[in-house]
A and B are shown apart, each in its own frame.
Chain A
Amino acid sequence: MKYTLIILSLILIATSPLIAAKKNQLTLTGSTTVLPIAQAAAEAFMDKYDVNVSVRGGGSGVGVAALMNKTVDIANSSRPMKAKEITIAKSSGVNPTAYAIANDGITIVVNTKNTVKNLTIKDLKGIYTGKITNWNQIGGLNMPITVISRDVSSGTFEVFNEKVLSGSKVIDSAMMLASNNAVASTVGDTPGAIGYIGLGYVTEKTKIVNVENCIPSIQTIKSGEYKLSRKLYMYTNGPAKGNTAGYLNFIFSPEGQKIVEEQGFISVK
């Protein structure tokens, strides 16, 4: 009994000064691919409404984990949640609800000096697994290939792994970079480099390569003709309500979808 009283007292002491009301705010965490859309939409949304929107990156896995831990309102993800993640979330009382807010194509980019214009999925798998090591093996210049990949915790990597690698291991010498920007920048600075990024991250320093003779475009990505097309998601705990619903409705509005396109991605409307 004595110990019970001590414990109860400790609980009261620990908790009593900490009670505070939640602010009128919205938090988003996750995919670096979705990040520019989320940030631009947040700025426009805050201009219209009295809500403080906080957006952070970290990667799709971080966003999904934060949703499962009930610490964010929206998890940004460039891949669908896995069955394991959904099961753990549901067991923890979280009901992951997906909102596909944009279309994207994982875009294969090379240095602007590279003469290769098209690659097949088989070529890509060969390059990323180390079976093809020089551009002249696939009709290009005599130039060693520098393989650039996203790190394994990235949602973009997971979609690339599923659609291109089919579970095979990326060559050990590949540079595993933490963001789309880093990949685009490195490819732009390295003559023999190849990388993959979200469509919205393509810059003038890089050159897009067709995949299976298909260029990533509005039409080919929306129709699914482009083999590396995907959707970008925002996940909420159950159907969105309140400020979360307001923010998502804004993204799905013509103004929000215009922001999606301004960031280089493809609208879902």
Chain B
Amino acid sequence: MKLKSIAKWFLAIMLITPAVINALPVKVSGEMWNRWTNEQIKAADGKDKTSKNYMSLERGYFGLETNFTPNTKGRFTIDMFSSEGETDGAGLKLKYGYVDFANLVPVSDMNLTAGLQKVYFGTLYDWNYTIIGKAPADEYKVANSSDYGISLNGYLPNGFGEYALGAYNGEGYKKVGSALADNTNMAYLANMRITPIAGLTLGGSYMANSVKREKALADDAPVAAYEEQGLMDGVLRLNYSIVDFWGEYISKDMSFPNADDKDYTASGFMIMPIISLSSIIEKDIQVLFRYDNWDESDNPSDTAKYLLNATTVGVNYNFLHDDSNVPAMQLQLNYAMKKYDEDKSAASYADGAKDINQIMLQLKWRFAGTISN
């Protein structure tokens, strides 16, 4: 399994070294998220108390991208972030490290992408954090936002939509090496989005994944924890005038072939209207609302059984725009309330014990430039 770690660093070196030796133009980009978080919970005495109040660098993306030819592009992105789990107070994650081959397959506008890349599931791959929270599939741990794999992805003619077919490790970008020893099965994904008319997007994704080995490596004995997952996602986006409405439905079928009474289905949905005020006022301001429902109440595990309702309201102020009107800076203010249904959740969720009120203020800033020969 060391090979996988070596491979990722090799891929990174492969991306950078030719750029240095042959002086290929390299696009350098960065995105930093400076955040203040204040969280209130209901303490054991029933009173609301501040459980978190801190500032942090939640994301520190640094990316390199180069075109080996007009049809072959490499990208490498790392994430440096504040982390309490590390002795130095900061963590490092590999986020992307892939090569895109356009026109390798003789289908127009199709790419073959190999390496650590986006997972084309639901809204994961184009979630741009207009709201501070994660995409639902990421938030509820249905799928990972990036993973090691190979995919065919592309666009239909005349802007009619996009598609992707992929095979991934299935464990996400955080797991490599020994963390994958107990799962030798790949995850398989299909994704389709159509835009029949301007402003209307309909999409669907399916991913077949698994966790753990079906049979133990040593003696082929059935592994009770082995689970097969059928993950489905439906996306609706309506964008008319000043309103950009996102809707997403997710279903997660969990099957345990080697154990009884463990199968269950979790599902949920999100609605998120974003209202852009830039055409009304001369400032790029967005007002946001998001409502999530995630139903894990069918889960037979006593501790993991819950029904969550989460509401977020927020406002974004975008400024320092470039020639294409892409803002270099975004100031975000979000207020989120997470409440667990007492009747449908496990006992540990009773009396609002795990309910959270959270306010976040975040300054995102981005930069990009090209180093040419």
Contacts and interface: CB of A to CB of B under 8 A. Distances in A.
Interface of A: 3-4, 7, 10-11, 14-15, 18-20, 22, 29, 56, 58, 61-62, 65-66, 69-71, 82-87, 89-96, 152, 161, 165, 167-169, 172, 176, 238
Given A70-B279, A83-B157, A91 B239 contact: yes
Given A15-B285, A96-B159, A169-B68, A90 B197 contact: yes
Contact of B198 (A84, A168, A238): A238
A47 to B, nearest CB: 27
Contact of A18 (B23, B237, B281, B357): B281
B198 A93 contact: yes
B11 interface: no
Nearest to B336: A3
Contacts of A19: 280-281
A93 B199 contact: yes
A61 B322 CA distance: 13
Nearest to B111: A84
A93 B102 contact: no
B239 A93 contact: yes
Contact of A89 (B71, B159, B287): B159
Contacts of A56: 323
A82 B109 contact: yes
A165 B103 CA distance: 13
B156 interface: yes
Given A11-B287, A62-B323, A167-B70, A87 B162 contact: yes
Nearest to A75: B324
B156 A168 contact: no
25 contacts: A10-B315, A10-B333, A15-B283, A18-B282, A18-B285, A19-B280, A20-B281, A84-B162, A86-B158, A87-B155, A87-B156, A87-B162, A90-B201, A91-B201, A93-B239, A94-B198, A95-B199, A96-B159, A152-B25, A152-B67, A167-B70, A168-B69, A169-B70, A172-B24, A176-B372
B335 interface: yes
Contact of B315 (A14, A62, A91, A176): A14
Contacts of A15: 277, 281, 283, 285
Contacts of A82: 109, 155
Task: Report, nearest first, the 4 A-B pairs whose CB atoms are least far apart.
Answer: A86-B159, A93-B239, A95-B198, A65-B324
Contact of B195 (A58, A61, A90, A165): A90
Interface centre among B22, B159, B277, B285 (most CB of A within 10 A): B159
Nearest to A94: B198
B314 interface: yes
A22 B280 CA distance: 8
Interface in B243-283: 244, 277, 279-283
Contacts of B17: none
Contact of A83 (B103, B109, B323, B335): B109
Contacts of B155: 82-84, 86-87
A6 to B, nearest CB: 8
A14 B317 contact: yes
B315 A87 contact: no
Interface residues of B, number: 55
B161 interface: yes
Contacts of A95: 197-199
A7 B333 contact: yes
A83 B239 contact: no
A20 B283 CA distance: 10
B325 interface: yes
A93 B240 contact: yes
Contacts of A96: 159
B283 A93 contact: no
A69 B315 contact: no
Interface in B150-200: 154-162, 193, 195, 197-199
Contacts of B357: 3
Given A87-B155, A95-B197, 11 more contacts: A3-B357, A7-B333, A7-B335, A18-B281, A18-B282, A22-B279, A70-B279, A71-B325, A87-B162, A89-B159, A172-B22
Given A7-B313, A7-B333, A83 B199 contact: no
A83 B163 CA distance: 12
Nearest to A162: B70
B373 interface: yes
Contacts of A62: 323-324
A30 to B, nearest CB: 10
A83 B159 contact: yes
Nearest to A170: B70
A20 B244 contact: no
A90 B335 contact: no
B281 A83 contact: no
A167 B315 contact: no
B359 interface: yes
B371 interface: no
